[in-house]
Chain A
């Protein structure tokens, strides 16, 4: 079987002709298999959605219970059949509920990893390598300059800064699904036990993480109802990055603007955004992890999608691994 007969890129997303389903489609389709709950991968309006129970709950939280007509739960590691094609979900280590999707027919297997990372993350199951003929990898941070440092050292920087500047509010920009909860969980792991304040946009997702048994400690809404600016002096406030350019950010005393993102590795990026304390914490693989994962899995061929395809394809060429960019559209250039 030629790989493209099992899975091929289309304007709606990756399509499996024999199984008649899409993976992470960007337009409404009859049947969608969803790797994880980020908005550019999990959209509403599909007739049927198959995903992990956590991802289905995230989608219901974001889009409402009627985000699809038919939900099908996929348990990690269990195999099922769709029109003669075998599909299975395996942990991707990206955010709560994130999965790689393995698609198999006639002994030929393609693994679509979605977004993934290899670092330890207290908020989700770790990535599991799955042997395959074709490995479909993301390339968000696929440049040799991206080598993310130990996230514990980054969190230690944040805690140290709150001690150095106790009169200022530390505003931490973090993507609402996954990153925000990971930052909070990492703070708790390092013994930060004070109340953490959160932007309203984070509330329901943090509640959902808590309901999944992830300890986020005492979280309170960052509202001014009970007092003035001084109440937030020396505290950590977590919110979506977009909120910081907004009027919302003005309620805080002399804020230190922090941003938890893999992009913060590049000084100019931090400077452009007016970030005072960059925290290099990523939910994607860095360069070393991407290349190590490909080496570990040892697929016959690599397909590279959303991000810096050209560098990873070049690296594969140098290793004599067959590789091609997929040029899928609709995934955010900068999903952090």
Chain B
């Protein structure tokens, strides 16, 4: 348990991706089977041993400690599991600490009633960090800021493999993954996935370099289709086993029972998961915010399924019955997909239409002004360009597939607050809250509309940091409030991917993926945008054409 507990402690506080990967690689390199496999399963959330309710923990603690002192402690720490991990009276001699394996395997065999008694015994013998890890595991509250994908990347690095190889077999494996580690350490062959409905590693596109790549995009060589603003999924049905995977191989079936019902076929579709709004019987895509309502939920109510129905817009067919189509050229797979979707005749699985074009200029015009029918202008993020002869290969190969996103939205906003960054940037003010003007023209007021970090050179970051330090009007902890008046302040050009309505923000809007694209030292703050300009960009039925500016 010690190694696992200290891994958790470090992972939660390590901001960088590479740092996290290295910590996990070192963990699996230094911890034996089956302990390391259970550790990884806890991180990828493939371990389900939640067996104790917080109220039971409180009761266990109350037997051991004065209530008033426990109250002071909990008030100070603010987290029950952490409080208990710190105040629990140690009984053991520190030598008989349970391993993670012992904890997991015992709980898997035990009844739910046994849970609290078992946990009580282990708490006596663990140190504070071990108790914390145990309590987070058994209450099912382990949140450490590491995605399952990142853990798989660490495994790939440990074994010198490609992460897609691990994703492909992951769903046929179960903790503690001893056969996986045997392969990663070169002791055996790759485990064969015997599970039905396996995940097939996804093919991804490169961003189009307009200068170098665009001239190559001729209709004889490339197909074009819209890139929809949902989430990429793989919908598989295999002899009664139905699965919906995210593009990183996470099984998200649980959140979409309505989609699973639709998978009445033998095969595997690659497509975009979208949420619809009722529109005279046909499918009309709702803004991304509607889809977010359905993601990351443990329980999906019938009401939500009805108000936010999900559907799939198919891009590709990877498996058709017994036949693996991935080696075929895209042109052939596309024909098979068209026939497959037509056979299904499902109102909630449709096909992403191809976009006919004459030459690169024509394509550029389509991208800049998508058609207004079927609200493509609102819900397409851009274009996907696929070589007709491309096989479906995992990863992000250079050449066969390009994505060509539409220019981002751009507004001019005023810097309001700055916060110190993390890790390498912890001494810089590198996170910025910015606002736009609202209220009467004569007495305008700034309302915050988003927060972004700066993605520029160190030189610019230093310049901005100096400005913030010299223009601070107030400080609270790591945050500085910066002078922001019509005649004195700094204008930031903000690029973002889209806007949603939000009741959580005072401005009533939420930005998707905002980033600071330029520092407008030259621009007086009074000339920054007003909230009304942003409101006009909000998606709505029969909305006026979007205000778009060319990106810098």
Contacts and interface: CB of A to CB of B under 8 A. Distances in A.
Interface residues of B, number: 37
Contact of B73 (A144, A165, A244): A144
A143 B71 CA distance: 10
B23 interface: yes
Nearest to A315: B69
Nearest to A248: B427
B66 A245 contact: no
Contacts of A318: 66
A144 B426 contact: no
22 contacts: A143-B73, A144-B72, A144-B87, A145-B73, A145-B86, A165-B19, A245-B420, A247-B427, A249-B426, A250-B427, A250-B428, A265-B86, A268-B78, A274-B423, A276-B15, A276-B423, A277-B10, A308-B72, A308-B76, A310-B72, A314-B66, A315-B66
A164 B22 contact: yes
Interface string B469-506: 00000000110000000000000000000000000000
A147 B84 CA distance: 12
B233 interface: no
Contact of A268 (B79, B87, B422): B79
Given A268-B78, A271-B13, A164 B73 contact: no
Nearest to B427: A249
Given A145-B73, A249-B427, A268-B79, 5 more contacts: A145-B76, A246-B427, A250-B428, A267-B9, A274-B422
B26 interface: yes
Contacts of A270: 13
A272 B76 CA distance: 14
Nearest to A270: B13
B15 A149 contact: no
A257 B68 CA distance: 35
A144 B86 contact: yes
- Give the most central of B72, B79, B477: most A CB within 10 Å: B72
Given A145-B86, A308-B72, A275 B77 contact: no
Contacts, number: 92
Interface in A130-147: 143-147
B82 interface: yes
Contacts of A315: 66, 69
B127 interface: yes
Nearest to A247: B427
Given A147-B128, A310-B72, A266 B14 contact: no
A255 interface: yes
Nearest to B10: A277
Interface in A264-320: 265-268, 270-272, 274-278, 308, 310-311, 314-315, 318
A266 B420 contact: no
Contacts of B73: 143-145, 311
Interface of B: 6, 9-10, 12-15, 19, 22-23, 26, 65-66, 68-70, 72-73, 76-79, 82-83, 86-87, 127-128, 420, 422-424, 426-428, 477-478
Contacts of A268: 77-79
Interface residues of A, number: 37
Interface string A182-195: 00000000000000
A254 interface: yes
Contacts of A308: 72, 76
A267 B426 contact: no
Contact of A314 (B12, B69, B420, B422): B69
Contact of A149 (B12, B69, B127, B423): B127
Contacts of B9: 267
A311 B72 contact: yes
A144 B423 contact: no
A311 B69 contact: yes
Contacts of A310: 72
